[in-house]
């Protein structure tokens, strides 16, 4: 057994058997962000044989206060590329599998089939429901976590407890919230160490599940308050009959609408990066629209961008846009995507409607260099 793992192998109840179980295990981390980074680092260090991680995002400066797998020199690089390099350096003895795209309704089932345990490190509700229902359908253990401001939550779903009961995310939240009803971290903020703590807990729960040590948080929701350094648990039970419905097979899964999950086959809204934005700008039949509020910075050149704040979005809906290509931008790519969806309902296939993925925050250098 490698000296690398000596300190955990000598533990009572762990030993070489526990290490061999980790070496033969396959864990998928969805989202290489505040939760995913620490989970990946500790699972790689512990010797999990195969680590998969999926994320189509790039490193931004605003990530660095909580995503310590990255450095300032990594800004602008694909997260999964940086993660592959750094995790390989941390532990070259394990197998890494990077997926440089976002999880979606058409790819999730095939990806999840390969893994023993799934860790949800995402930060939006539509993807959480997507992951949950896929795990229930495939009978995959799911380690869920969420953080906001100074508080975090952690739970394990889809494993039978000693009484033969299993729960899933919909037993807590049967119905997805309405768009904009609950703010995410980019809107509400988060203290940097919090996802580090909760993400490390996700890794700990994965190790417990895989090796059989301890008592995992099955059918329990752990709540953590950083300001008070306090914990409490809530026992979870299956929801009422007919309070929600889980897809029963792959076909029904593919035809389920997960909240306001954006399926391009339905909405025809295309998310683009900065290179694609620059290409589209060269087309004279294009209008660029900033849907941020007037006080938000950086302010864009009004000769190039029209401003229609979301607080007065009816004005844009009443506007008769003559251009064929409509590109919407906002601070983080969230409001622009919602605006694009509404414009598609108005124009249908008559317009090509785009949203800048990640928004101005991701491509800040490009926008601040514009005059």
Q: How sure is the predictor about 261, in pLDDT bands with cuts at 50, 70 and 90? A: very low
Claim: this prediction has a pTM higher than 0.85: no
Q: Cα–Cα distance between 33 and 227 in angstroms, integer?
A: 22
- Which class in CATH covers the domain with range 264-368? alpha beta
Residue 161: its H or E element: none
pLDDT (mean) for 258-271:
55
Q: How sure is the predictor about 52, in pLDDT bands with cuts at 50, 70 and 90? A: very high
Q: Which residue has the higher pLDDT, 265 or 79?
A: 79
Fold of the CATH domain 3-254: Rossmann fold (3.40.50)
pLDDT of residue 145: 97
Indicate whether 223 pLDDT > 50: yes
Structure tokens at 58: 């790039």
Kindly list the strands in the beta sheet with 286-290, ordered across the sheet, starting from the edge strand earlier in the chain. Answer: 269-272, 352-356, 325-329, 286-290, 305-307
For the chain, what are the domain ranges?
3-254, 264-368
pLDDT (mean) for 327-339:
90
Which of the 8 DSSP states describes residue 218? B
Indicate whether 266 pLDDT > 80: no
């Amino acid at each position: 057994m490698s000296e690398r793992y000596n300190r955990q192998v000598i533990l009572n109840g762990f030993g070489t058997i526990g290490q061999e179980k980790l070496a033969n295990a396959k864990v998928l981390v969805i989202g290489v962000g505040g939760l995913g980074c620490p989970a990946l680092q500790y699972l790689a260090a512990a010797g999990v044989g195969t680590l998969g991680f999926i994320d189509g995002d790039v490193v931004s400066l605003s990530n660095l206060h909580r995503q310590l797998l990255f450095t300032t020199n990594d800004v602008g690089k694909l997260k999964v590329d940086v993660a592959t390099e750094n995790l390989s350096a941390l532990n070259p003895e394990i197998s890494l599998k990077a997926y440089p795209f976002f999880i979606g309704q058409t790819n999730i089932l095939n990806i999840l089939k390969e893994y023993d345990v799934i860790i949800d490190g995402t930060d939006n509700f539509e993807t959480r429901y997507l992951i949950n229902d896929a795990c229930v359908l495939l009978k995959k253990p799911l380690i869920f976590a969420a953080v906001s401001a100074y508080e975090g939550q952690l739970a394990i779903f889809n494993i039978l407890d000693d009484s033969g009961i299993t729960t899933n995310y919909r037993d807590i939240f049967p119905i997805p919230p309405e768009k904009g009803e609950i703010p995410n971290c980019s809107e509400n903020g988060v203290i940097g160490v919090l996802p580090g703590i909760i993400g490390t807990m996700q890794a700990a729960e994965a190790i417990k599940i895989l090796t059989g040590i301890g008592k995992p948080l099955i059918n329990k929701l752990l709540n953590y308050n950083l300001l008070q350094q306090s914990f409490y648990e809530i026992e979870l039970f299956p929801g009422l009959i007919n309070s929600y419905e889980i897809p029963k097979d792959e076909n029904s899964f593919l035809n389920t609408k997960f909240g306001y999950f954006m399926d391009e086959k339905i909405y025809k809204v295309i998310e683009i990066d900065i290179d694609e934005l620059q290409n589209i700008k060269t087309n004279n039949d294009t209008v660029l629209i900033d849907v941020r509020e007037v006080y938000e910075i950086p302010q864009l050149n009004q000769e190039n961008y029209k401003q229609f704040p979301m607080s007065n979005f009816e004005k844009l809906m009443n506007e008769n846009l003559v251009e064929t290509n409509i590109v919407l931008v906002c601070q983080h790519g969230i409001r622009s995507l919602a605006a694009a969806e509404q414009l598609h309902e108005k124009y249908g296939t008559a317009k090509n409607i785009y949203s800048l993925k990640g928004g101005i925050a991701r491509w800040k250098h490009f926008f601040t260099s514009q005059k």
